[in-house]
Structure 1
């Protein structure tokens, strides 16, 4: 179990004044990366860094406010030979009263990549389960996400062409693209983009799409499963394209 704490500051806010959903997604990924990397380096051999490959559905149960302290508690709940599942709960703490409330829940999958060779996937040290049933449930989740990743990978090249003169409130009208030049502060030790940075950018472009469609302020309520199929390297342009129909 690993805990990450961070006080929420004004530059973490969205236009409504609450904490930006992308900030929370980035924090969740960082907490998962820390606990995964620690666990995978328990064994002797090449040092490795855990890389994000999938995020399950992420729930935004309650808003977080500026001035509160975010607690991201991460726990490894399943490990296969080359990957591991991390479940994360985010709590918001009012440091004036001590009151806490649950704001987010998420499950993420990581693989350990060798620091010497980023394309080399290391073996994951096994974890101890409370029961055989707990291990079996984890195995089922592992097989399910593995199958879905293969299915989405086959659709990765699908591109929705931008429409010409789209009518308001159509899918084409809200379609948006965000391009970001990857800098050193966005990257891991491998000089690849952090998964959390990618999720924050995805949340930003999704917010643009939703605002265009609804013509009002919006906030993130839930994020469906996200798969990470390819690496984005330092110096490359990351392109995020979304529409209200996706």
Structure 2
């Protein structure tokens, strides 16, 4: 097995991306626009996927993104990303979004997302990625749940689901 495809632990590719929200990030209701959060989620997830694959990646699916609470100006948005599952060339990344009030010292989970990336070779074609080396029961459970989501995505793409 080439060194580039040796199994990797989830901890090896975790990423955290933080951004302070300002007035330029708001929608017409005065909350941070969902698109701003989506961009940060995609960037945090892509960093984790690139760390795992050691290759450029492209986003191929946002499987789910759940907005649970609004984010406000002056909140520090922290996106925590980790791989949950890898296929041959694809990787599913779970991203948890926390809004922190740095003045009050409080934080709350405001969003969870599952994003799928594909690693690319030098010619821009999908390329194999290392397998995951699951270390905990929780990681194995998340992998099983991710496999179920992947099977659903494949059925959906094949037109088997309506």
Return the offset for 1:109.
1.1
SS across alignment from 1:85: strand
* TM-score, L = length of structure 2: 0.80
Query: Any gaps of 5 or more consecutive residues in structure 2?
Result: 1-13
The answer to whether the aligner puts 1:49 opposite 2:56 as a matched pair is yes
Is 1:75 equivalent to 2:82 in the alignment? yes
Q: Which has the higher contact order (CA 8 A, sep 6+)?
A: 2
Q: Which residue of 2 aligns with 1:228?
A: none
Give deviations 1:85-115, integer Å, cap 9, x for gaps: 111111111111211111101111111012x
1:79-118 maps to which residues of 2 (within 5 A)?
Answer: 79-114=86-121, 116-118=122-124
> Relative to 1, partners in 2 of residues 1:140 and 1:68: Cα closer, same or farther, differing over 3 Å?
closer
Instruction: Show the 5 A alignment for 1:29-44.
Output: 29-41=42-54
Q: How many residues align?
A: 147
Name the structure 2 match of 1:145.
Answer: 150
Structure-1-length-normalised TM-score: 0.54
Q: Distance in 2 between matches of 1:136 and 1:88?
A: 16
- Give yes or no for contact 1:55–1:108 (8 Å, CA) kept in 2: yes
* Inter-partner Cα distance in structure 2 for 1:136 and 1:80: 16
* Cα distance in 1 for residues equivalent to 2:40 and 2:141: 29
Structure 2 counterpart of 1:15: 28
Q: Is the 8 A contact 1:78 1:135 kept in 2?
A: no
SS of residue matched to 1:87: strand
CA deviation string 1:189-225 (max 9, x = no partner):
xxxxxxxxxxxxxxxxxxxxxxxxxxxxxxxxxxxxx
The separation in 2 between residues aligned to 1:137 and 1:34, in whole angstroms, is 20
Structure-1 residue corresponding to 2:3: none
Largest Rg, 1 or 2: 1
CA contact (8 A) 1:84 1:110 kept: yes
Aligned-pair Cα RMSD in Å? 2.2
Residue aligning to 2:128:
123
Structure 1: gaps (5+ residues): 42-47, 156-246
How far did residue 130 of structure 1 move?
Answer: 2.8
Secondary structure in 1 matching 2:32: coil
Alpha-carbon shift at residue 147 of structure 1 (Å) = 4.4
Distance 1:65 1:17 in 2: 7
